[in-house]
Amino acid sequence: MTQQAAQPLSQARAIWLMTKMRLTRQRNMVANNLFRKFRGKKKQKKARDGIAKTSSMWVLTVVMVLFMAFSFVGLSRNVVLNMGCHLVADSACHVVEKDGERRDNMELTAAELHQAPFQPELAHGLTMVITVLCGIAVLLPLGSKELAQPDWDMEWLVTMPVERSTLLWGRLLERSAANFTGMFALLPPLGIIAWYSGLGWFAPLAALAALIVLLPLAALLHTLADTGLRMWLPASQLRNLQAVTGLFSMPLMYFVMALGMPGASGFVMDWARAFPAWASWTPPGMVLQAMQAPGLAQAVQAIALLLVQAAVLIWAGVALMRYQLRNGVVNAGSRESVRRKQPAVAGDTARGGLRTWLSGAMSPIKRRELRLLSRDRNFLVQTLVLPVVIVISQMIFNGKLSSFAELGQHHTTTAAIAFGMGVYVLMLSAFQTLNNEGQVLWLLYTVPRSIESVLKEKAQLWGTLTMLYPLVVIGISAWYTTHFEWSMLVLLLTVFAGIPIYSLIAVSLGVFACDPLAVDVRARVRPTYIYLYMLLAGFYTWSIYSSVWSQKLVVMVLVASMALALWQKARDALPYLLDPAAAPPPRVSTSDGLIAATAFFILQSLTTLWIMKDTATTTPTLKAATIAFVTSGLLVYVLMRFVYWRSKTAGVPAILRGGDTRLTLRYGAMAAAVACAVGLAYLVVLQHSSLWSEIARQMTASTGPRGWLLLLAVLAAPLFEEFIFRGLIYGGLRRSMPAAPAMLMSAAIFAVVHPPVSMLPVFVLGLCTAWTYERSKTLLGPMLVHAVYNAIILSWQFWM
């Protein structure tokens, strides 16, 4: 039987197959990370303890993607409206209020943009924005690659029986289709510009059409730089260039973001005004002209000129790439390089003494981490220099910082800068702890130490190094400060308390974000968790800007509890990280309690609003508050019990099962006596303070029979709150730490969800109930302590 000769591929089909292969690989990576549990449980291997690995990351990813899309669309709208307000001289957006204060009304700007074509100043400014975003679409993908490593994709593609030009065209198309950075950067602003250009609901289609033209141009520049640099420069210079690329791309991002800020610096708008008019005839400018065309004929002309420009540029770029690759795709001698031994110099003795001191002061794990940092220039620059560039760019472009002297005047801004630098350093260092190990991560599992202790040491190292940045910023602020204020000390403590907390959060999220089995280096870090880390960091900045001590305390305690919950989850996942099928057995964790508490308070608020929707007052009655509390607590209790039963979770708290009732009552009586004594003493002290009148006013403002309040405080609150705060939160914390710190942390969480005036006695109550639960191992004891405490305190307030 003769075998027929294979037919040669056509150029179009070869390009399509390359693009399809790239998109299929991207799809498989996404499916592997997000939808593992939907791929047939029968085909999954069983873990050594019988638990198959599943993934619910798709829920978090969908939420984060939607949030990012909403944020980018909102930011793009702000950029267009803000530029329309400040660049157009006769804009009607500047409104003078009755008190003489000037305010910018962006709704008036939106009406102006809908009614008339863009003014030349605005058109030039928006052309600058699109141009800068195209640059970001080139620089970010270029900086995220390992330029010093061989381009195995290109070296494999040239072995295919097709012409070199066909491979290059396919390379451009597949990089255009897989440039998700460019899509997120360009699609929202193009859609907003098309919307205000009068295209209405055809704006998304117009933005997509413009994206189809601009992304190949970005891919062309990316491929030209990527291919040419690999061919011309040695590996050491490529690493330096990659570090510079990462530094240059970040200020561009914050420059565009600053254009949408109401308080943007004047020079940002001045740059937009000074953007040359000839740029309107470049591809980004032609996109804007096509959207702003007054008629069909003008639009066709602009689109035709845009397509001609894109075709000429791409043809010329492909020709240049063919010239670059005329001698092959491998630069001989650039792959392997050795570091020659340098001759001894005078400073070697001092450096040797420093190494000896570090060897004695640091553990081998920390010394290894510092050695890796010193050897990798790209990692060194991204970790130690890039955070400074990011934060300073934000402050300068947003108009919050024009000189170092202002650090001594605006202490809150100084604290935000100090904390921001620390957060970015941790994101680029501690967050990457496992990912930086690369393909040799498995070696950490062979050392005679637990990988948990290794990560702890790395978190301590990066937390300590990160402290240097806030110290420098605060030192500059102290130099320019003319007088001392106690609020400065509070801000200082807030910043330095947040750094170790976020060091633990960064390492924990880095465990979930790391995919050590991914072949592609860029796929080893899941960007969803990076965005989640930044959201959590933004939440902590509230404690910096808030002037209320109770709000600062609430944020710090909640963030610390989230850090402990994430670290516990990371500890559970570490032994199974290299196994694609095995997963840790389900056990009650701190995160379960935090999720249950969050769901409980959200459901309680929604239920109260629904009950009070037909009433004229916004203050809920005792009956409404009790019904909402009982309904929400019962729903959360039943739901958590169902989830635990379904997943066969270990460590589920029991109300009475397996405990000694007599011993439980004895411990409960002792704890209730202590809690009630502290609570009554606290009330006596409050009676002689100015706070007592406010408490009395709140008590008299409660409407409805007091029986509802007794039902709420003596029956419902002990039942549901003890299940959440002692059974889940304390039980989860107890699994990872000794009893004393677990009691303190759970009591702090319990206290901060109560009004500020009652935080101290509620904290003591949390300690007493946690101690009772630790002794009795059942929830009956804490529930009795809680019920007795509420009954005694309410009786004192109402009848004494």
Distance in angstroms (rounded) separating the CA atoms of residues 563 and 337: 42
- Same domain flag for 577 and 600: no
Distance in angstroms (rounded) separating the CA atoms of residues 785 and 787: 6
Per run of 10 residues, the mean pLDDT along the chain (length 800 residues) is 53 70 65 50 44 58 76 87 83 69 76 83 90 88 66 61 74 81 89 89 91 91 80 68 70 80 69 86 92 89 93 90 71 46 51 55 78 74 77 68 66 84 85 74 78 85 88 84 79 90 90 70 62 85 84 90 91 81 83 90 86 68 84 92 88 79 88 92 82 63 67 89 93 91 94 88 94 91 93 79
Residues in the chain: 800
- Same domain flag for 485 and 618: no
Last residue of a domain, one of 581, 600, 628: 581
Q: Which residues of 682-704 are buried (b: 16+ CB within 10 A; e: fewer)?
A: bbeebeeeeeeeebeeeeeeeee
pTM of the shown model: 0.76
pLDDT at 769: 95
Distance in angstroms (rounded) separating the CA atoms of residues 415 and 420: 8
- Inter-CA distances, 43 with 25, 30, 57, 380, 647, Å: 21, 19, 20, 43, 20
Contacts of 270 by beta carbon, 8 Å cutoff, 6+ apart = none
pLDDT at 368: 80
- Same domain flag for 224 and 263: yes
* Cα end-to-end span (Å), the chain: 105
Domain count, the chain: 3
**Do residues 412 and 545 lie in contact, with contact meaning Cβ atoms separated by under 8 Å?**
yes
- Inter-CA distances, 232 with 115, 152, 240, 326, 336, Å: 53, 17, 14, 13, 15
- Same domain flag for 565 and 620: no
Q: Which residues of 164-188 are buried (b: 16+ CB within 10 A; e: fewer)?
A: eebbbbbbbbbbbbbbebbbbbbbb
What sign for the dihedral angle of Cα 188, 193, 199, 200? positive
Instruction: Give the three-state DSSP class for 424.
Output: helix
- Inter-CA distances, 114 with 205, 215, 222, Å: 18, 28, 36
Kindly report the backbone phi and psi dihedral angles of residue 95, in degrees, each rounded to the nearest multiple of 5, phi listed first: -115, 135
- Same domain flag for 150 and 227: yes
**Do residues 523 and 515 lie in contact, with contact meaning Cβ atoms separated by under 8 Å?**
yes
Is 498 a domain residue? yes
- Same domain flag for 476 and 521: yes
pLDDT at 239: 67
pLDDT at 749: 94
Is 180 a domain residue? yes
**Do residues 524 and 515 lie in contact, with contact meaning Cβ atoms separated by under 8 Å?**
yes
Distance in angstroms (rounded) separating the CA atoms of residues 280 and 113: 19
pLDDT at 561: 92
CA-wise closest residue to 273 among 126, 398, 104: 126
**Do residues 334 and 232 lie in contact, with contact meaning Cβ atoms separated by under 8 Å?**
no
Is 197 a domain residue? yes
- Same domain flag for 572 and 648: no
Contacts of 792 by beta carbon, 8 Å cutoff, 6+ apart = 676, 679, 680
Kindly report the backbone phi and psi dihedral angles of residue 398, in degrees, each rounded to the nearest multiple of 5, phi listed first: -85, 0
pLDDT at 312: 93
Give the pair of three-digit tokens for residue 224.
């030209």
- Same domain flag for 635 and 542: no
Give the pair of three-digit tokens for residue 688.
């002689």
- Same domain flag for 569 and 589: no
Give the pair of three-digit tokens for residue 141.
């993908």
- Same domain flag for 130 and 181: yes
- Same domain flag for 171 and 309: yes
Is 208 a domain residue? yes
pLDDT at 190: 93
Kindly report the backbone phi and psi dihedral angles of residue 72, in degrees, each rounded to the nearest multiple of 5, phi listed first: -70, -40
CA-wise closest residue to 743 among 752, 733, 751, 755: 733
Distance in angstroms (rounded) separating the CA atoms of residues 402 and 539: 26
**Do residues 671 and 781 lie in contact, with contact meaning Cβ atoms separated by under 8 Å?**
yes
- Same domain flag for 566 and 589: no
Give the pair of three-digit tokens for residue 136.
């970001």
Kindly report the backbone phi and psi dihedral angles of residue 59, in degrees, each rounded to the nearest multiple of 5, phi listed first: -65, -50
**Tokens 């019920």 -> residue:** 787
Give the residue numbers spanning the domain of 648. Answer: 585-800
DSSP readout, 70-89? HHHHHHHHHHHHHHHHHHST
Is 685 a domain residue? yes
CB atoms within 10 A of CB 116: 9
Last residue of a domain, one of 539, 560, 581: 581
Give the pair of three-digit tokens for residue 357.
């001191």
Distance in angstroms (rounded) separating the CA atoms of residues 553 and 533: 20
Q: Which residues of 376-393 are buried (b: 16+ CB within 10 A; e: fewer)?
A: bbbbbbbbbebbbbbbbb
Last residue of a domain, one of 324, 344, 375: 324
Is 213 a domain residue? yes
Query: Given 3-state DSSP classes, what are the helix, strand and coil percentages for the chain, each rounded to the nearest 5?
Result: 75, 0, 25
Is 102 a domain residue? no
Contacts of 317 by beta carbon, 8 Å cutoff, 6+ apart = 172, 220, 221, 223, 224
Instruction: Give the three-state DSSP class for 587.
Output: strand
Instruction: Give the three-state DSSP class for 103.
Output: strand
Q: Which residues of 297-313 are buried (b: 16+ CB within 10 A; e: fewer)?
A: eebeebbeebeebbeeb
DSSP readout, 467-499? THHHHHHHHHHHHH-SS--HHHHHHHHHHHHHH
Is 222 a domain residue? yes
pLDDT at 39: 45
Distance in angstroms (rounded) separating the CA atoms of residues 214 and 186: 9
